[in-house]
Structure 1
Amino acid sequence: MIFPLSIISLLGLACIALLASPYPYLAPGAVLGLVGFAVLFRKPTWGLLGIAALVPFEGFFKDNALSGSKLLGASLAVILMLQLALHQIPAERLRSNIWRYLLAFMALYFLSTLTTDDLGMSLGHLRELSVGLILFVITLLIGRELNLDLFARLVTLAVSATCAMAMFSSKFQDQGRAAGLLEDPNAFALLIAFAVPLALLLVIRAPNWLQRLVWGGCFLLLLGGMTKTESRSGLVVLALSLIIGCWHYRTQLARIRPRHLGFAMLGAVILIPLAIAVMPAGYIARIQSLSVLSAGASGHHDESLGRRASYIVVGSQIIRENPLLGSGPGTFPLHYATTGYAKAFSANRKIGDLYRRAHNTYLEIFSELGIPAGLLFVGMLGLGLYNLLRARKAWMQRRNAEQADMMTHLGMSFLSLTLFLMFLSAPNQKYLWIMLALTSVLRLKAEQAPLAEART
Structure 2
Amino acid sequence: MADKLEQNTTLEEERPIIEFPSLVKLIIVSGALFVGLSLLILPWYLALAIFFALGGMIAVFFDPYMGLIAFLIGALLHPLEFFSEVFASMHVSTVLAVAVMFIWAFHIIVYRDFKIVNDKLNILVIIFGIALFFSTLEYFDFSFPQFVDFVKLFILYFLVVNLVRTRNKFLIMMWGLVVLGAIACLIGIFQHYRGIGVDYGEGVIRIRGTALDPNDYAMHIVILVPMVFALLFNYKNLIIRGLLLLILILLILNIVFTYSRGGMVAFGLVLGLSIMGFSFQRKKLILPILLLAVGASVLLPMIPEKYWERAKTISDFSDPAIQARLDTWKTGLGMIADHPVRGVGLGAFRYEYTMRAYMGSDVKTRASLFSHNAYLQIGAELGVPALIIFVLLIVFSWIDLLKAEKLFLKKGDLLFAGLSLSLRLGLLGFIVSAVFLTQAFLTMFWIILPLAVVAKIFAREDAGKYASA
TM-score by length of 2: 0.83
1:283 pairs with one of 301, 304, 307: 307
Residue type of the alignment partner of 2:66: W
**Matches for 1:42-53 after TM superposition, within 5 Å:** 42-53=62-73
Mapped contact 1:192–1:222 kept (Cα < 8 A): yes
CA separation in 2, counterparts of 1:384 and 1:315?
26
Structure 2 residue aligned with 1:419: 432
Question: Which shifted more, 157-166 or 218-227?
Answer: 157-166
Among residues 137, 152, 159, which one is paired with 1:131 in the alignment?
Answer: 152
- Asked if 1:120 corresponds to 2:134, the answer is no
**Which amino acid in 2 is paired with 1:138?**
L
| Pairing partner for 2:123 from 88, 100, 103 | 100
Question: Is 2:179 the partner of 1:150?
Answer: no
> Conserved in 2, the CA contact under 8 Å of 1:166 and 1:173?
no
User: What is the CA distance between 1:142 and its match in structure 2?
Assistant: 0.1
Moved more, 166-175 or 2-11: 2-11
Q: What percent identity do the matched residue pairs reach? A: 22
- Measure the CA separation in 2 of the matches of 1:108 and 1:81: 25
Change (3 A) 1:361 1:13: farther
Aligned partner letter, 2:145? G
Distance 1:60 1:424 in 2: 27
Q: Which residue of 2 aligns with 1:183?
A: 212
**Greater Cα offset, 244-253 or 301-310:** 244-253
* Cα distance change on mapping 1:256 and 1:419 into 2, 3 Å: closer
More contact order relative to length (CA 8 Å, sep ≥ 6):
1
Q: Which residue of 1 aligns with 2:13?
A: none
- Paired residue total: 434
Shift of the 285–449 alpha-carbon distance from structure 1 to 2, 3 Å rule, reads same
Q: Provide closer, same or farther for how the CA distance between residues 314 and 251 of structure 1 changes in structure 2, counting only shifts above 3 A.
A: closer
For the 8 Å contact 2:332–2:371, the answer to whether it is kept is yes
- RMSD (Å) for aligned C-alpha atoms: 3.1
Q: Is the 8 A contact 1:197 1:410 kept in 2?
A: yes
Deviations 1:359-391 (A, max 9, x none): 322111101111111111111121111111111
The answer to whether the Cα contact below 8 Å between 1:140 and 1:437 also exists between their aligned partners in 2 is yes
Q: CA deviation at 1:453?
A: 4.5
Out of 211-220 and 27-36, give the one that drifted further. 27-36
Distance in 1 (CA, whole Å) between partners of 2:37 and 2:283 is 69
Checking the alignment, whether the CA contact within 8 Å between 2:124 and 2:393 is kept in structure 1 is yes
Q: Does 1:249 align with 2:278?
A: yes
CA contact (8 A) 1:50 1:69 kept: no
Looking at structure 1, the residues matched to 331 and 284 of structure 2 have their Cα atoms a distance apart, in angstroms, of: 52
The Cα of 1:392 is off from its aligned counterpart by 1.2
- Which residue matches 2:260? 231
The structural deviation recorded for 1:71 is 5.6
The match for 1:79 is 103
1:310 is matched with which residue? 327
Amino acid at match of 2:132: Y
* Distance in structure 1 (CA, Å) of the matches to 2:446 and 2:241: 30
| Contact 2:373–2:435 (Cα < 8 Å) also in 1 | yes
Question: Paired residue for 2:443?
Answer: 430
Q: Is the 8 A contact 2:379 2:387 kept in 1?
A: yes
Whole-Å Cα distance in 2 between the matches of residues 89 and 68 of structure 1?
A: 28
Q: CA deviation at 1:125?
A: 2.2
**Change over 3 Å in CA distance of 1:55–1:112 after alignment to 2:** closer
Distance 1:22 1:414, change over 3 A: same
Show the counterpart of 1:219. 248
The correspondence for 2:461, drawn from 443, 448, 452, is 448
Q: 188-197 or 83-92: which moved more?
A: 83-92
Residues 369, 255 of structure 1: alpha-carbon distance in 2 compared, 3 angstrom cutoff: closer
Preserved CA contact (<8 Å) 1:329 1:368: yes
User: Which residue number in structure 1 is paired with residue 49 of structure 2?
Assistant: 29
Deviation at 1:398, TM superposition (A): 2.1
Residues 398 and 451 in structure 1, CA contact (< 8 A), matched pair in contact too: no
Amino acid at match of 2:123: R
Query: Which residue identity is paired with 1:92?
Result: I
Contact 2:342 2:381 in 1 (8 A): yes
Are 1:387 and 2:400 matched, yes or no?
yes
C-alpha change, 1:449 and 1:255, in structure 2 (3 Å) is closer
The one of 208, 211, 226 aligned to 2:237: 208
Task: State the shift of 1:253 in Å.
Answer: 7.0
1:58–1:24 distance in 2 versus 1, CA, 3 Å:
closer
Residues 1:41 and 2:67 aligned together = no
How far did 1:14 drift? 2.5
Q: Distance in 1 between matches of 2:210 and 2:172?
A: 23
- Specify whether residues 256 and 107 from structure 1 end up closer, same or farther in structure 2 by C-alpha distance, changes over 3 A only: closer
Residues 328 and 369, structure 1, Cα contact 8 Å, conserved in 2:
yes
Instruction: Please give the alpha-carbon distance, in whole angstroms, between the structure 1 residues aligned to 2:436 and 2:65.
Output: 31
Separation of aligned partners in 2, 1:38 and 1:359: 43
1:332 corresponds to 2:349: yes
CA pair 59-319 structure 1, distance change in 2 beyond 3 A = farther
Change (3 A) 1:87 1:418: farther
SS in structure 1 opposite 2:165?
A: helix
User: Counterpart of 2:124 in 1: which secondary structure?
Assistant: helix
Q: CA deviation at 1:22?
A: 4.7
